[in-house]
Amino acid sequence: MKRSYFGLISVLCVLFLHSCKQGGYSTTVGVILPLTGDVAVYGNAIKNGIDLALDESDIKEDIRLIIEDDQGETKTATTIFNKLLLQKTDIIIGGGMSSVAAALAPIAQKEQITLLSPTASLPSLTNSGKYFFRIWPSDNYEGYITADYIANIMQKKRAAVLYVNLDYGVGMNNVFSEEFSKRGGQIVFSEGYAQGATDFRTQLVKIRNNNPDVLYIPGYYQEVANILRQVKDINLDVQILGISSLYDERIIQLAGDQAEGIIFTYPSYDSNSEDETVQVFVKNYSARFGNTPDAFAAHGYDAMKVVEYAIKQLKKKSAPVTRETLRNEISKVSDFNGVSGKFSFDENGDVIKSMRFMTVRNGEFVQL
């Protein structure tokens, strides 16, 4: 009887430990995004992508998702970050805006928890430490290829820059201006504007007086739409170029014909791609959310997929899922077949992936 008793206890212990091991794979993923406020359109698209990726996951029962709204404010984001740390969070997807990512990255480094940003692009984030990764290319690259395009493809020599006065816009202006100057170009005007501004006529008159060949506008669609309308009001005849955030149907709705011909950089993600992975993503996303996913949704989706990949890699090794092991697995990501394109992370956590140029033609976005 004693043998049977101890045998039963042994079986129960094995089953209990097995259960504990399975439970040990439970991972808490914090998400910090601007879900309300001026840039909520981007944050909500990212969130939708994350939600879809988790719903599709075959290990979703092992993942606890905590989603928080930073309203695009660094102070709010910092408070949320610290709250997530108290909730034993294992990894954080966030820093949708560069300014927020810049505020959170030092905390992530100090607390040794991975901060995976879907869309932050500020160049200085490259030096944020071993716990910061991003899936959107650095402004260094976006500004670099735009400067090269204007100088060598368009063969224009005089550029004006009107940028949103946030880390994102300031960083883009700095990179673009430096690279354009290296190619023999001249920056004839450069000035920032406040996020949420609506009247740009004074600045546009100054730009007109400096007679540029092109006007580069690193900013978000709301302000850029107003700029495009006011360019017409003051009879400023200049080729306008922008950045990835302009790939939004609302800029065409708000700016109308004035959006025709604008040129902007955009990640390699293409909702019309023949790639099977992309087609399935677009189909499932459209069915759930009622619209075609943009690059922000795609990058949110890929961020969650990277986290899922890291967890699965650890499960294969029967390794514990911790802040450190997650960080180590993510650092090894190479040639990841994401819907936003195939990508890898370099030694600084920067993504390696391609970009392309888009324009508006007959009221539609087309690739150049």
Query: pLDDT band at 321, cuts 50/70/90?
Result: very high
Taking the C-alpha atoms of residue 158 and residue 150, their distance in angstroms, rounded to an integer, is: 9
Residue 316 in this model has a pLDDT that exceeds 70: yes
Does pLDDT of 352 surpass 80? yes
**Among 143-147, 217-221, 244-248, 291-295, whose mean pLDDT is lowest?**
244-248
pLDDT at 168: 80
Cα–Cα dist 49/52, whole Å? 5
Sign (positive or negative) of CA dihedral 273, 275, 276, 282: negative
Distance between CA atoms of 243 and 163, rounded to whole angstroms?
11
Q: How many CB atoms lie under 10 A from the CB of residue 22?
A: 12
- Classified as helix, coil or strand, 137 is coil
Q: Six-digit token pair at 171?
A: 């960083």
Q: DSSP secondary-structure letter at 338?
A: E
Do residues 239 and 265 lie in contact, with contact meaning Cβ atoms separated by under 8 Å? no
Domains of the chain: 26-137+274-354 (3.40.50.2300), 140-270+356-367 (3.40.50.2300)
How far apart (Å, rounded) are the C-alpha atoms in residues 359 and 252? 11
Look at residue 1 in the predicted model and tell me its pLDDT.
43
Average pLDDT over residues 118-134: 94
Confidence of residue 20 (pLDDT cuts 50, 70, 90): very low
* Sign of the torsion angle spanned by Cα atoms 26, 31, 35, 39: negative
CA-to-CA separations, 209 to 57, 148, 184, 203, 237, in angstroms, rounded: 56, 25, 21, 10, 11
In angstroms, the CA 103 to CA 100 distance is 5
Read off the pLDDT of residues 56-69 as tens digits, 9 standing for 90 and up. Answer: 999 999 999 999 99
Residues 6+ apart with CB under 8 A from 211: 158, 188
pLDDT above 70 covers what percent of the chain? 93
pTM of the entire structure? Answer: 0.75
Q: Which of 88, 125, 86 is nearest to 109 (CA)?
A: 125
pLDDT 10s digits, 243-273: 988 988 899 999 999 999 999 998 888 898 9
Alpha helices in the chain (DSSP H): 2-23, 40-56, 74-86, 98-111, 139-148, 167-182, 201-209, 221-233, 249-255, 276-289, 295-316, 323-331
Instruction: Report the distance separating Cα 100 and Cα 256, nearest Å.
Output: 32
Calculate the dihedral angle through the C-alpha atoms of 343, 345, 346, 349, rounding to the nearest 10 degrees. Answer: 140
Query: Where is pLDDT greater, at 7 or 240?
Result: 240
13 pLDDT higher than 50:
no
